[in-house]
Structures are given as structure tokens and as C-alpha cells.
Structure 1
Amino acid sequence: MNIVTLTMALAGNALTCVIVMAFCYSYSMSGKSQIRAGVRIQYTFQATLVPVLFACIVPVLTFLPLLYVDVPVVHHLFKIVVLNAAASLIHYLFFLPNMMLAFSERFGFSCTSLNCAELCCDMDDESSIYYIPTGGRAIHPEGLYHHPSYTYAPKPLMNAPPPHYLA
């Protein structure tokens, strides 16, 4: 195996890693509308199917015109590209959803705490992350809207004209 075929094999490994990262990112960002792991995996699979198919099929299709060149290295590279695309698709179709289901449901007991009905690893709702410090004093509603500007504003180089200057 020469360095060119080894480079193509490593590029196929990188393709599989990117597919796994995209699947995991889409799974973790699927939101609160999909509560169960099975529904989240279905949503993630539907959301990432077309990009993964294009990522696996387009390199094979774009490599086809190079097969007219009668060089043995090109044929070896084409075989590696087809093998990488097939392995990535098989991994995506059969192993990745099942492993995500296993890690999220079967091994999810490590994320739970005692007396909790839900997994503690779930993301909190965005509305619960805002914190207004009170400092142990009462907050008046009119004081919430009258704050000094903390932004930097440079001092003007010229003084303002007196009132009624242009009148």
C-alpha cells in the first residue's frame, strides 16, 4: 500500500467521523419536542439522511471520469473510495442509530439520580437560564428599566453649540 492509497483510506475514516459527529450533534439538538430517545433517533436519521447520502455518493460519482485514464493507481483509489463510501453508509444505516439508542436508553442509568423520573442529562429550557441578582434588597419595577449605559462612548472633540445657534 503506498502513501496515496493510505491517504484515501484515512480520508474515508475522517468521513465516518464527520458523519458520527453530525448525527450526534443533530441528536443532541433535536429539542424538547422529542422526549423519547427512539423518536429523537428517528428525527435525527431523517434530518441527516440526505447530507450523508450526498457525502458518500458524490465522491464516487465525481471520481468516475478519472476511470478513463488507464493508470493502476486511479483504479486502486476508486476501489478505496467505493469501499469507504459503502462502509460509511453501512455504519450510518445499521450501527450508528443502534449505538445511540443503546447509549441513551440502556446506559442512561448513569445519568439519573435518585428520586428522579427523567434523565438529569437533558438540556434545560432556555427560559430558565436567566438570573437577575437582587443583592438582598427590594427591586422596584421602575428601577428595572432605568440603568445607566455601560457601553463605551468617546468624548466628543468639539463642544456642543449653544442653544438656538442656528435660529
Structure 2
Amino acid sequence: MRLKNKVTFITGGGAGIGKCTAELFAKEGSAVAVLDRNVDKAKSVADSIMSMGGKAIAIEADVTSESQIIQAVKTTVENFGPIDILVNHAGVIPDGDASILDVEEETIDQGLAINVKGMMLVGKQVSRSMRDAGKGGTIVNTASDLSQVALAGLVTYVTSLA
């Protein structure tokens, strides 16, 4: 178990790659805080991990809200101890994403808030927690391969990954 006695904080952990990452880290021995804005999805992943004998908690939080992230970090530390690993995976292809000629300002705001601001706010708060614990840690920020190749009609998403 390569991650035995580690604590991992995963954003966007309720589905897809975030869910798979949470389950894999738990299988490797890490306690996992599964963060998602959809608490039912986060609970499903945490329950699955616990049914396999792992340690997990589900935390509902919006990565664009610094106060919610502060509380999520606090909850994680209270349950498992200092965070060792951050997997920053929350991201969204915003509703209404379009070409540069047609994209609406609200769509741009939503995509940048979650994909850029959210990653920075989570990184900031988890880094502070790691520093305060005096033990350092590892931060993994994930992105789509679309950060390297543009896809027509998804200008906000592609731009937020650059």
C-alpha cells in the first residue's frame, strides 16, 4: 500500500476520473476526502470506499467559494489529520459553451470560476493547511488533453485549461 497513512483531498471526486482516483488512492491505503458540489455523488463514492474497508468522507462544497473550501479542509483535518495530497480535479464544460463569436459572458464566467479560480482557491487553502502542519505535501492539478488541442465550440473550456 503505497499511500498508507496518507490523507488525500480530491475535488470533483463524485464522478468520472475524480471518482476513479478516489477509489484508487483508497485502495492504496489513503484516507480520502471526496469533495463534490453534488453531495449525493460524493456520498456514493465515500460509501463505496468504506464498503471496501477504506476510509473516506463525503464533503459537499463549491470550489468557487473560499469559505466552503476552508470548511472542507477543516473537516478533512478534523476527521483524518493533516492533508498530504491534493488532487485538484473539479472542472466543467460550461452550459452554453460555444465559438468565440457566440459565447455569452455568463458562460465565460462560469467556466473560468470553476476551472481556474476554483483550482487556485483549493490549492491556496490546502497549501496553507500543509504548511501549518509542517510536513509539506503533493499537489496534482489535472486537466483535459484539450488544453493542448482546441475543439471548436468549446472556447471557454479550452481557454480555461490553457
Give the TM-score of the pair, scaled to structure 1: 0.32
Higher percent of residues as helix: 1
Which structure has the bigger radius of gyration? Answer: 1
Higher percent of residues as strand: 2
Give the TM-score of the pair, scaled to structure 2: 0.33
